[in-house]
Amino acid sequence: MLTLKKKTAEALAAAVGSCFPAVTLTADEIAAMLEYPPDANMGDLALPCFKLSRVLRAAPPQIAAALAGAFSCTEIARTEVAGGYLNFFIDRTAFSARVINTIRAEGDMYGSPRTGNGKTVVLDYSSPNVAKPFHIGHLGTTVIGHSLKLLHEFAGYHCIGINHLGDWGTQFGKLIVAYRKWGSREAVESGEIDELVRLYVRFHAEAEQDESLGDAARAEFAKLEAHDEENIALWKWFIEISLREYQKTYAMLGITFDSYNGESFYTDKMPRQLDVMREKNLLTLDDGASVVNLDEYNMPVCLILKRDGSTLYPTRDIAAAVYRKETYDFDKCIYVTSAGQSLHFAQWFKVIELMGYEWADRLVHVPYGTVSINGAKLATRTGNVVLLKDLFAQAVEKARAITLEKNPGIENPDEIAEAVGVGAIVFHYLANNRMRDINFVLEDALSFDGNTGPYAQYTYARTASILEKAGECGEMKSYAMEEAEVALCKTLATFPETINAALAEYEPSCVTRYILELCAAFNRFYHDCQIITCTDETARAARIAMTNAVHTVLGRALGLICMKTTEKI
């Protein structure tokens, strides 16, 4: 529809110049005013002339009538004046042929805005805390972040995916104390991250009764910071165990990272940034702590150093941002974290600006809503979590049972079950705006009925089956098209706009909603129109071409939200 909008706007700009020679309006200005009517009977595009009334100094109905008389565009069959609106009705065959032929020519790159060519984007996402389980609270940053990476790659950007591991802090002092008191190497080697979590949960339970455990944990972390050999060895072991577990989940989601540099990587890079802050006279003392005062910007002070001189999250994030700019020379650096951290990012982004780094405006925080389980807040220390590996296992098992029930002799049932089961969870999460808080109900996430991931994957598999039976893909030629065919072509035409919106808003759910629209349009088309059995050879060839276009676009769209496709279900 972007091409249709462009052509219509160009023709309207010429009409404005003809009817109102004293006024100049560009095609881009007019394109921004065009709307999609709520009902197809009202047209395929509409220009609300109220927006032009002040500029053209005429009543909206007069403007609409004048422009209708001077308008000419090859893809618009007719215009209609309705009050202050000028409605446009497409030439169905010309429009549909252009859309389908464009998809056929561009293939998997159809819809790419190509705005990122020659540019680099760094994306910081997932970033679990080491030695803690990968639970549904991590699903948001992981799938939103990776979807944004895929969207930017699709737009032509060179993308660097960074997993900024939480691999430093007092939690390691707690784990070291717990391991020495209640753990063993054999138990950890056997239970891996589950055993580390058990020790961590027990530490907090015991610490409620014994305050000395907190002091012991701080002492062990201090030894770790001082590079005590034994503590460093334990720390590295805990990281190794954690990464091994995380990789299993990433593999199921098809996710890889370019860097796993966590917080610890930046410990030797902070002093240089502290020197810059001192040179800029940004640091002041507040009850012994070093802070940057942000009163002028309506924000609390940004804490940089504790009273004992130890660093905090802002210090490490600032050092990391500078390192990434110097290493990757990014055009944009995106951070995908919970909305609860919005103030934290606003503060240190401002500090980066005050330090004199001119690229501060290229730092982007992409927040998302919280996740709860049946209304209860997630908390590793109390054990109130749903582990992703358990959730995925349940979904995969359910998908496998359904698949074998419907198609007992299907090849690669385990591969299909994983694609469908994991896809169901991902789609369920990305179905809503990222800022929406989610109350996670297991039964809903595992539902395969209605507007779900399995429904979308099944629709994709249906297109694959039709194409396999049809053989060679046909071409679009002029014939009397059914309403369902036109509606399908119009939906296919909106994919480029969907991608633009998802990129502009950092919103993968734009793609998820589009997938449901495309599936609905295709399934109506499939119900209303004969495809392979159609006796009209021109219509048959066109419908096979449309099915091929859906296969291409739907496959690409599913891939952009971290979902795998399967040709058969």
- What is the spatial distance between Cα 24 and Cα 14, in angstroms, rounded to a whole number? 9
Per-residue pLDDT at 379 exceeds 60? no
Q: What is the pLDDT of residue 377?
A: 62
The rounded mean pLDDT for the chain is 92
Whether pLDDT at 248 is above 60: yes
- Please, how many CA atoms are within 13 Å of residue 68, restricted to the half-sphere of its CB? 23
118 conformational bin, left if phi > 0, alpha if psi -120 to 50, beta if neither: left
Given a cut of 80, whether residue 408 has pLDDT beyond it is yes
Q: Which residue has the higher pLDDT, 480 or 85?
A: 85
The average pLDDT across 272-290 equals: 94
pLDDT for 26: 92
Q: Where are the domains of the chain?
A: 2-90, 120-382, 390-560
Residue 101 pLDDT:
92
pLDDT tens digits for range 342-362:
999 999 999 999 999 999 999
pLDDT at 500: 96
pLDDT digits (tens, 9 = 90+) for 209-232: 998 999 999 999 989 988 999 999
* Cα(126)–Cα(144) distance, integer angstroms: 9
Q: From the centroid of its chain, how far is CA 464?
A: 26
CB < 8 Å & 24+ apart, contacts of 390-398:
391/136, 391/425, 391/442, 391/445, 392/249, 392/252, 392/421, 392/422, 392/425, 394/421, 394/442, 394/446, 395/421, 395/422, 395/424, 395/425, 395/445, 395/446, 396/420, 396/421, 396/422, 397/421, 398/446, 398/448
The residues that bridge with 431 in the sheet, in sequence order, are none
Asked whether the beta carbons of 445 and 454 are under 8 A apart, the reply is no
Helix or strand or coil: residue 48?
strand
Residue 378: what pLDDT?
54
Mean pLDDT along residues 374-403:
75
Class of domain 390-560: mainly alpha
- Give residue for tokens 């990122």: 116
Contacts of 353 (CB under 8 A, 6+ apart): 360, 361
Tell me 173's DSSP state.
Answer: H
Torsion angle of the four alpha carbons 374, 375, 380, 384, in this order, in degrees rounded to the nearest 10: -40
138 is catalytic: yes
- 541: helix, coil or strand? helix
Task: Measure the CA–CA gap between 31 and 39, rounded to whole angstroms.
Answer: 20
Q: What's the pLDDT at 492?
A: 97
Q: What's the mean pLDDT in 65-91?
A: 92
The rounded distance, in Å, linking the Cα atoms of 302 and 283 is 10
Neighbours of 389 (CB within 10 A): 17
Q: Which residues pair with 336 in a beta bridge?
A: 366
Least Cα distance to 83 among 70, 58, 65, 56 occurs for 65
Are 79 and 46 within 8 A, CB to CB? no
With 90 as the cut, is the pLDDT of residue 328 above it? Answer: yes
Structure tokens given for 18: 């003809």
Q: Which residue has the tokens 């907190």?
A: 214
pLDDT tens column, 19-40: 998 888 899 999 999 999 988 8
CATH architecture classification, 120-382: 3-Layer(aba) Sandwich (3.40)
pLDDT digits (tens, 9 = 90+) for 362-374: 999 999 998 776 6
Confidence of residue 187 (pLDDT cuts 50, 70, 90): very high
Top pLDDT among 90 and 335 is at 335
- Of 89-98, 275-284, 342-351, the one with minimum mean pLDDT is 89-98
Q: Is 132 a catalytic residue?
A: yes
Identify the band that residue 3 occupies on the pLDDT scale cut at 50, 70 and 90.
confident
One-character DSSP codes across 247-308: HHHHHHHT---SB---GGGGTTTHHHHHHHHHHTT-EEEETTEEEE--GGGT---EEEE-TT
Q: Which tens digit of pLDDT belongs to each residue from 251-274?
A: 999 999 999 999 999 989 999 999
User: Which CATH number is associated with domain 2-90?
Assistant: 3.30.1360.70
Cα-Cα-Cα-Cα torsion 449, 451, 454, 458, nearest 10 degrees, comes to 110
Length of the chain: 569
Nearest-angstrom CA–CA distance, 373 and 367: 20
Q: Is the pLDDT of residue 156 over 70?
A: yes
Q: How far is CA 290 from CA 277, 308, 350, 355, 392, in A?
A: 10, 10, 16, 15, 45
For 135, residues 6+ apart whose C-beta sits below 8 A from its C-beta are 378, 380, 385, 386, 387, 388
The catalytic position among 6, 7, 51, 138 is 138
Catalytic residue among 7, 51, 119, 132: 132
The reply to whether 527 belongs to the active site is no
So what's the pLDDT on residue 157? 98
Share of the chain above pLDDT 90, in %: 75
The predicted pLDDT at position 71 comes to: 94
From the candidates 5, 135, 146, 152, which is the catalytic residue? 135
Structure tokens at 454: 């399995």
